[in-house]
Amino acid sequence: MIVVLNFGGQFAHLIARRVRDLGVKAEILHGDASLSEIQALNPKGIILSGSGHSVLENGPLPDKGIFELGIPVLGICYGLQLMAHMLGGIVAGGYVKEYGKENLDIIKKDKLFTALESKEIVWFSHGDQATKLPTGFVKTASSKSCELSGFADEKRGFYGIQFHPEVTHTVHGTNILSNFVFDIVHAEKNWKLSDVSAGIIKDLKTKIGTDHVVVGISGGVDSLVAATLLHQAIGDQLHAVFVDHGLLRKGEVES
């Protein structure tokens, strides 16, 4: 199990998706989730998401106890900055903002960067950046505008990267996440979408029995998935109602 702490970043859910694509269960919790909430999931590793906030302007921070759990932590973008901020490093603003594809120089081939080239194409989206390493950390990567694009304290299993490995624009981003999940966290492959859907369908059959269900379908993914699973569970006992809320794409109502 990998816990993704969501600090409001646009890619937080994509991080969890990438972990699940690797065959490992992932759960998303709000960034300020209590330590007890996190521990209740018995995570083997934690990923700190990006965010549009700034640690220099009272941005959201996790419970500092996550760094005392004895499990690996990966900070992505804002996640790197909050690691630096909370563990004794320095984060500063006013630097050249990076947005888009950049060339990354990998300085130290730690476990996170295993099997990667010395130069990689990655995707940046940040304004602030770490300017001083926390005690015990070493620099692992840099770019032309961000000296500390990656750092690590391998002894404690803490890794920070200023770029986004979860997006397809980071060419070997999946390799980086895989290195963290399997080589650092040592997670087991225990999650398959087919198993999840089968469990949901079985549960629905038990709960609904011979009753009938009405479901509203708005054209979005959530309602369509819910209706599909319900139909697979109870067939003609399901009565679907299409709701034209006026915000669909051209021709979608007809199709």
pLDDT in tens, 30-39: 999 999 999 9
In what helix (H) or strand (E) does residue 125 lie, and over which residues does it extend? strand 119-126
User: d(Cα 128, Cα 78) in Å, to the nearest integer?
Assistant: 8
Phi, psi angles (nearest 5°) of residue 20: -65, -35
pLDDT in tens, 45-54: 999 999 989 9
Task: From 86, 76, 103, select the one nearest 19 (Cα to Cα).
Answer: 76
Q: Cite the active site residues.
A: 77, 164, 166
Please tell me the predicted confidence (pLDDT) of residue 180. Answer: 98
Tokens 């694509």 belong to 21
Task: Using CA atoms of 57, 62, 67, 70 in order, give the dihedral in degrees to the nearest 10.
Answer: -160
Task: From 206, 241, 197, select the one nearest 223 (Cα to Cα).
Answer: 241
Please tell me the predicted confidence (pLDDT) of residue 98. Answer: 64
User: d(Cα 230, Cα 57) in Å, to the nearest integer?
Assistant: 45
pLDDT in tens, 106-138: 999 999 999 999 999 999 887 789 999 999 999
Please tell me the predicted confidence (pLDDT) of residue 219. Answer: 80
What is the share, in percent, of the chain residues with pLDDT greater than 90?
80
* CA terminus-to-terminus distance, the chain: 40
CB-count exposure of residue 212 (10 Å: 0-12, 13-18, 19+) = exposed
- Give the DSSP letter of residue 54: -
Please tell me the predicted confidence (pLDDT) of residue 94. Answer: 65
82 vs 96 pLDDT, higher one: 82
User: d(Cα 56, Cα 53) in Å, to the nearest integer?
Assistant: 9
pLDDT in tens, 154-195: 999 999 999 999 999 999 999 999 999 999 999 999 999 888
Please tell me the predicted confidence (pLDDT) of residue 46. Answer: 98
